[in-house]
Amino acid sequence: MYRITKAENIADKIFLMDVEAPRIARSCEPGQFIIAKIDEAGERIPLTICDYNRETGIITIVFQVVGASTERMSWLKAGDAFRDFIGPLGVASEFVTDDLEIVKQRKYLFVAGGVGTAPVYPQVKWMRGHGIDADVIMGAKTKDLLILEAEMRAVAGNLYVTTDDGSYERKGMVTNVIEDLVVNQGKHYDVCVAIGPMIMMKFVCLLTKKLGIPTIVSLNPIMVDGTGMCGACRVTVGDEVKFACVDGPEFDGHLVNFDEAMKRQQMYKTEEGRAMLKLKEGASHKHGGCGCGGDQ
């Protein structure tokens, strides 16, 4: 069992939890994720690691209530425990394994949309810990849906906050801020890392491709089973088929077929849609948590 030491409602339907998981905390890196399971009958829920403390053995997760399983998870309090808490899974962010001196020479721009702020935070924190000041754009629909603002301000070189309705700081989409920084203010970025809703990442990539900024995206929003067995996170990257949970979750955003991924994600939510994907994808369709009947 993995004991919860802190459970907070940090925004509407968004929750933060600290969980005792020493082995994961000792070996995880930014960009990776865990799979949480409330009890024996519970659903496997993949969640990107928001923070980690190697000394205390604590892993921080942030999640949004989107269905029955995350609703049940939101009921857990400090002192409760997860039946399973597995990780670290996925491939760490590229800069973690790159030559540090080369990473220090790059100018990074991180773009966080909504709950995507949670996986962006440990990446920016890693940068600060290695003496690198990164610019960060945080976007949300309204001020009330902004999360981890104080934590992000503590580690970002410059933090730009924007809300769709203009209820806090800037008004507009994150793409408006990117364009303002690069086109109007003349800032130069060598790498952009964008994490948030699929539609946000798509439009960020369309803009950064036009601006000539290499861009990394995290496809954690489309993960379901987290093992590569269910096939929900199948995505085309360039001319290759990838699975976000085992090959990623981070990919070259300029190569990701977002339209296909979003269409597939919607189909996957229905039994009829899963059956259609099995028919269309044949032997390349994965089985396990998809509910399509496997090879029966």
Highest average pLDDT, of 192-196, 240-244, 272-276, comes from: 192-196
**What whole-number percentage of the chain has pLDDT above 90?**
72
Dihedral sign for Cα 101, 91, 116, 24, please: negative
What per-residue confidence (pLDDT) applies to 261?
84
Residues 6+ apart with CB under 8 A from 235: 219, 222, 241, 242, 243, 244, 251, 256, 257, 260, 261, 264
Where do the structural domains in the chain lie, given as residue ranges? 2-89, 94-218
Provide the whole-model pTM. 0.88
Predicted confidence (pLDDT) per residue in 201-235, tens digit: 999 999 999 999 999 999 887 776 666 666 677 88
DSSP tag of 91: P
What per-residue confidence (pLDDT) applies to 273?
47
Q: What is the mean pLDDT of residues 224-249?
A: 79
What per-residue confidence (pLDDT) applies to 231?
67
Mean per-residue pLDDT of the chain: 89
Rounded Cα distance, 112 and 117, in Å: 5
Q: What is the mean pLDDT of residues 111-135?
A: 97
Q: Is the per-residue pLDDT at 272 higher than 50?
A: no
Rounded Cα distance, 113 and 120, in Å: 9
State how far the alpha carbon of 57 is from the alpha carbons of 9, 152, 230, in Å: 22, 22, 30
Q: What is the mean pLDDT of residues 227-254?
A: 84
What per-residue confidence (pLDDT) applies to 271?
45
Dihedral sign for Cα 112, 117, 123, 125, please: positive
What per-residue confidence (pLDDT) applies to 282?
59
Rounded Cα distance, 169 and 140, in Å: 11
Q: What is the mean pLDDT of residues 156-161?
A: 97
Dihedral sign for Cα 125, 64, 111, 176, please: negative
**2-89 adopts what CATH topology?**
Elongation Factor Tu (Ef-tu); domain 3 (2.40.30)
* 89 closest CA partner among 4, 22, 29: 29
DSSP tag of 269: T
**AA letter at 3:** R
Please give the CATH architecture assigned to the domain spanning 94-218. 3-Layer(aba) Sandwich (3.40)
What per-residue confidence (pLDDT) applies to 244?
82
Q: What is the mean pLDDT of residues 184-206?
A: 97
**Helix, strand, coil % (nearest 5) of the chain?**
35, 30, 35
Q: Is the per-residue pLDDT at 81 higher than 80?
A: yes
Predicted confidence (pLDDT) per residue in 28-44, tens digit: 999 999 999 999 888 88
Reading the block at residue 261, the tokens are: 């991924």
DSSP tag of 260: H
What per-residue confidence (pLDDT) applies to 121?
98
DSSP 180-249: IIIIIS----SEEEEES-HHHHHHHHHHHHHHT--EEEE-GGG-SSSSSSS-TTEEEETTEEEEHHHH-S
What per-residue confidence (pLDDT) applies to 195?
97
Q: pLDDT-based confidence at 267, cuts 50/70/90?
A: low
What per-residue confidence (pLDDT) applies to 296?
39
Question: Crossing angle of helices 258-268/271-281, nearest 10°?
Answer: 130
Q: What is the mean pLDDT of residues 246-264?
A: 89
